[in-house]
Copies of this chain bind each other. A is one copy, B any other.
Amino acid sequence: MLFKNITILDEDFIPRENMYVGIKGEIIDYIGNVEPEIDYGESYDGQGKLLMSGFYNAHAHTPMTLLRGYGENLSLQDWLTKRIFPFENKLNGDSVYAGMLLGIAESLRFGIVSSTDMYYFCDDMAKAVLESGVKNNLSRGVVNFTEDDIDLLPGFIETKHLFENYHNEGNGRLKVDVSLHAEYTSNPKTAEHLAKYAVQTGANIHVHVSETQFEHNECKKKYGMTPVQYLNNYGIFDTKATAAHCVWLENEDFDILADKGVTVASCPVSNLKLASGVCNVPLLLSKGVNVTIGTDSVSSNNSLNMIEEMKFFTVVNKGKQLDPTLITPVDALRAATIAGAKSQGREDCGKLAIGFKADLIVLDLSNANMYPVHNMVTNIVYSASGSDILLTMVDGKVLYKNGEYLTIDLEKAIYNAEKETKRILGELK
């Protein structure tokens, strides 16, 4: 494919007008201001459009689309025990597949090319990833309140099964991570066991950390350590790890995350909506932490709109810390692209640069809200609307274009998601 006469946001987030970008197989093969001599096949008219890296969603539970808007305006405890847990208890492989596929369709509409996902019925999630053509770092969230042999724990058995059967499938699109769900849903033995397995296999780790003040303080009471200290103590950060939320970090925590090269996935909308608080992204950035952006699930967001999420990411800390100089739109774009790709172990992704994987999106620049252009990056992060994304390409293949999906039957996906939702609501009555 050849993008012609298109504005690009280059690898340094600088806009360059009237460019040509040639895609060969899954790779960005040409970037220049003259038409290349090589024939890249189908051409795409870029007039009034912007080509940039797609988004890497660093913390998600994609199949939870089925719970969108189910359980609102409730305390965290009521939300979990009266809504989320009973509903989730009725999920099966079919419903997780249906929710996953609907969530992938939504992700593509909002320019997300890859998600770091934690859930269960992961075979069904893998199927949806492989069929639809997206990328995913998939993990089974391991929860354990027992002292049983970890090797016999269903979550760990599924993790191993996933890793052995799916890791790097789909030409590397699907990666399998190891998930300790969180400190408060497990114990030291489980943490240690999973950490060892991840180090041995080279898998990434994905874990929830200090999302709520209650969780953070309970950990300190129980272990005399913050969740970050606890996880570090049991080896969870000895491999490439993504720590989601990190709202209630304390001073030493920031340094541990920086020293151990842990990625933080900040989830600003979910953290506000569930009333968890605000992650101190400016301090993390100043310590050199790889900060990324996660949507969390649509049951707490309630969308996978990464442009909106970048706006929240940028302004929430300005507003909380009463300092408008904190976090720039470039910080947000970096977090949503290259930092996200890096967190997923996709070092050849997340940049519009020659030799990188062609995980790209096209944004419509032709509408009233995108003019004038004092600063293109600012306009993308603050002024664009999520559904102004016209095209999403993964590994050089167009998966979404002008509202149409090339690998997903949207009508069927919606039908199945609604059918499974109705079944569950019926059983809960």
Task: Show the binding face of A for B, using Cβ within 8 Å.
Answer: 65-70, 72-76, 79, 102-103, 105-106, 109-110, 213, 269, 271-278, 298, 301-305, 308, 311-312, 314-316, 318-326, 328-329, 367-369, 371-375, 378-379, 382-388, 403, 410, 413-414, 417-418, 421
A324 touches B275 (CB 8 A): yes
CB-nearest residue of chain B to A388: B387
**Which residues of chain B are near A386, meaning CB under 8 Å?**
385-387
What are 8 pairs between A and B in contact, CB < 8 Å?
A68-B371, A79-B324, A109-B367, A273-B314, A273-B319, A275-B318, A275-B321, A308-B311
Of the candidates B106, B213, B326, B369, the one whose C-beta lies within 8 Å of that of A303 is: B369
A278 touches B79 (CB 8 A): no
CB-nearest residue of chain B to A271: B319
CA A312 – CA B268 in complex, angstroms?
A: 11
If A275-B322, A305-B385 touch, whether A372 touches B109 (CB-CB below 8 Å) is: no
Tell me the minimal C-beta distance from A315 to chain B in angstroms.
4
CA A321 – CA B65 in complex, angstroms?
A: 27
Of the candidates B328, B374, B382, the one whose C-beta lies within 8 Å of that of A70 is: B374
B106 touches A329 (CB 8 A): no
If A69-B373, A319-B278 touch, whether A382 touches B301 (CB-CB below 8 Å) is: yes
Tell me the minimal C-beta distance from A232 to chain B in angstroms.
26
**Which residues of chain B are near A421, meaning CB under 8 Å?**
372, 374
CA A171 – CA B278 in complex, angstroms?
A: 47
**Which residues of chain B are near A273, meaning CB under 8 Å?**
314-315, 318-319, 324, 382
CB-nearest residue of chain B to A273: B315
**Which residues of chain B are near A322, meaning CB under 8 Å?**
213, 275-277
Of the candidates B102, B278, B326, B374, the one whose C-beta lies within 8 Å of that of A371 is: B102
A374 touches B68 (CB 8 A): yes
CA A414 – CA B75 in complex, angstroms?
A: 46
B102 touches A368 (CB 8 A): yes
CA A232 – CA B117 in complex, angstroms?
A: 54
B374 touches A73 (CB 8 A): no
If A72-B328, A421-B372 touch, whether A319 touches B385 (CB-CB below 8 Å) is: no
A315 touches B269 (CB 8 A): yes
CB-nearest residue of chain B to A323: B275
If A325-B75, A383-B298 touch, whether A418 touches B371 (CB-CB below 8 Å) is: yes
B106 touches A368 (CB 8 A): yes
Of the candidates B67, B109, B312, the one whose C-beta lies within 8 Å of that of A368 is: B109
If A304-B369, A371-B417, A382-B301 touch, whether A324 touches B73 (CB-CB below 8 Å) is: yes
**Which residues of chain B are near A413, meaning CB under 8 Å?**
368
Q: Which of A106, A271, A302, A369 is packed against the most chain B CB atoms within 10 Å?
A: A369
If A68-B374, A369-B109, A387-B387 touch, whether A74 touches B324 (CB-CB below 8 Å) is: yes
CA A68 – CA B103 in complex, angstroms?
A: 33
**Which residues of chain B are near A324, meaning CB under 8 Å?**
73-76, 79, 273-275
CA A321 – CA B72 in complex, angstroms?
A: 17
**Which residues of chain B are near A277, meaning CB under 8 Å?**
319, 322
Q: Which of A103, A278, A368, A379 is packed against the most chain B CB atoms within 10 Å?
A: A368
B269 touches A105 (CB 8 A): no
CA A284 – CA B387 in complex, angstroms?
A: 33
Tell me the minimal C-beta distance from A66 to chain B in angstroms.
6
CA A269 – CA B268 in complex, angstroms?
A: 14
**Which residues of chain B are near A298, meaning CB under 8 Å?**
383
**Which residues of chain B are near A372, meaning CB under 8 Å?**
65-66, 68-69, 417-418, 421
CA A302 – CA B274 in complex, angstroms?
A: 26
Tell me the minimal C-beta distance from A343 to chain B in angstroms.
24
Tell me the minimal C-beta distance from A15 to chain B in angstroms.
12
CA A213 – CA B322 in complex, angstroms?
A: 10
A302 touches B383 (CB 8 A): yes
Tell me the minimal C-beta distance from A314 to chain B in angstroms.
8
A69-B383, A75-B324, A109-B367 given; 18 more Cβ-contact pairs under 8 Å:
A65-B372, A67-B374, A68-B374, A102-B368, A105-B368, A110-B385, A269-B315, A273-B318, A275-B321, A275-B323, A301-B382, A302-B379, A302-B382, A305-B369, A308-B308, A368-B414, A385-B387, A386-B387
